[in-house]
Amino acid sequence: MKIGILTSGGDCPGLNAVIRGAVLKGIAVHGQEFVGYRDGWRGVVEGDVIDLPRTSVRGIAKQGGTILGTSRTNPFENNGGPEVIKAHMERLGIDAIIAIGGEGTLAAARRLTDAGLKIVGVPKTVDNDLDATDYTFGFDTAVEIATEAIDRLRTTGESHHRCMIAEVMGRHVGWIALHSGMASGAHGILIPEQRVSIHEIAEWVKLAHDRGRAPLVVVAEGFVLEGMDAPHSERGLDTFGRPRLGGIAEQLAPEIELYTGIETRATILGHIQRGGVPTAFDRVLATRLGAAAIDSVVEGRWGTMVSLRGTEIAHVGFEEALGRLKVVPQHRYDEARVLFG
């Protein structure tokens, strides 16, 4: 059996570990053959592949990024579609596809599966926002990177007696902000799931400042300030029609300074959260998911993705995974909120 592997959407620590896990198990246990699609769905639409022998995945689990490249190509555009993809698969002798990606990637995989293609999915997102899996690889690494950066911001804030705002990724959920904010001892954490007024934020900042602390606020890029209609976005839409978020910290900084009189600086961590080597947790999880994806292929579980339930790997349908975003529940935010100010 010949299997094509693709990585699509934003890059993420752990992608190479998934590829390695799938290729090693597929070759060692089932004698399968592998190719990798270059640059995600673009390679699928154009039939652009590279061979993935065992030697090609040697030592890559610790590497960040993806050896296959990635893109945000929509496989139903750019002269693509199910028939074009099927024709390329037949020409290349590819029997099935393992699609590694986030919500956009898996939504496209679901449509293609409905059109008759043999596809299984592996969930990938630093945002940890995919339902039907407890954690996604890349999230732990992103939180570690964000926490280290915020710790560094705290020292300069204390030196200058400033309020520091750190903006982290997460799109429409606040998992990275919640975890990195709690880990770094933030005096306020702002997430999309919770509307907060500028007056309340200013109060947290003043309380910390009055105790002789340099106030620290962590904000998710998708946070919507009370009174705003939608998350701040000035960079248009991506190829799947979703807004490119970012910049809310720079909007909040002058407002906080105006209300508190405390000098305030904003830092947007941005893509630094996606880069570098994955943590041990992410390497192990990614490897397990890659190996489990081979089980899905062997068992013909088309239209499903592998997921983490507790400490065990499960297989769930795309419809279950894509039904809704996995948001931060109220009780998790309440745990953190006790520590604000």
H-run or E-run covering 316: strand 312-317
Q: Is the dihedral of CA 341, 261, 150, 102 positive or negative?
A: positive
Over residues 75-87, the mean pLDDT reads: 93
Residues 164, 232, single domain; the answer is yes
Residue 36 has a pLDDT of: 98
Asked if residue 329 is part of any domain, the answer here is no
Catalytic residue among 39, 127, 129, 282: 127
175-184 and 330-337 helices cross at what angle (nearest 10)? Answer: 20
With a pLDDT cut of 90, the percent of the chain lying above it is 86
Residue 331 within a domain: no
Assess whether 103 and 190 both reside in one domain: no
What total of structural domains would you count in the chain? 2
**Would you place residue 239 in the very low, low, confident or very high pLDDT band (cuts 50, 70, 90)?**
low
Pair 290, 253 in one domain: no
**Residue 203, in any domain of the structure:** yes
DSSP code per residue over 240-255: TS-B----HHHHHHHH
Give 103's pLDDT tier (boundaries 50, 70, 90).
confident
Residue 282 is among the residues annotated as catalytic for this protein: no
Average pLDDT of the residues in 208-213: 95
On whether 102 is known to bind a ligand per the annotation, the reply is yes
> CB within 8 A of 177, min separation 6: which ones?
168, 170, 189, 190, 191, 218, 219, 220, 223
Question: What percent of the chain is helix, strand and coil (3-state, nearest 5)?
Answer: 40, 20, 40
- The CATH number of whichever domain residue 244 belongs to comes to 3.40.50.460
Q: Is 221 assigned to a binding site?
A: yes
Residues in the chain: 341
- Say yes or no to pLDDT of 243 above 90: no
Q: Answer yes or no: is 272 a known binding residue.
A: yes
* 23, 147: one domain: no
Q: Which helix (H) or strand (E) holds 163?
A: strand 163-168
Using CA atoms, how far residue 242 sits from 56, 193, 304, in Å, is 34, 18, 24
Report pLDDT for 237: 61
Query: Is 269 inside any structural domain?
Result: yes
Question: Is 171 annotated to bind ligand?
Answer: yes
Whether residue 126 is annotated as binding a ligand: the answer is yes
* Residue 340 maps to a domain: no
Domain that holds residue 292: 2-137+278-322
Phi, then psi, of 109 in degrees rounded to 5: -60, -40
Q: Is 265 annotated as a binding residue?
A: yes
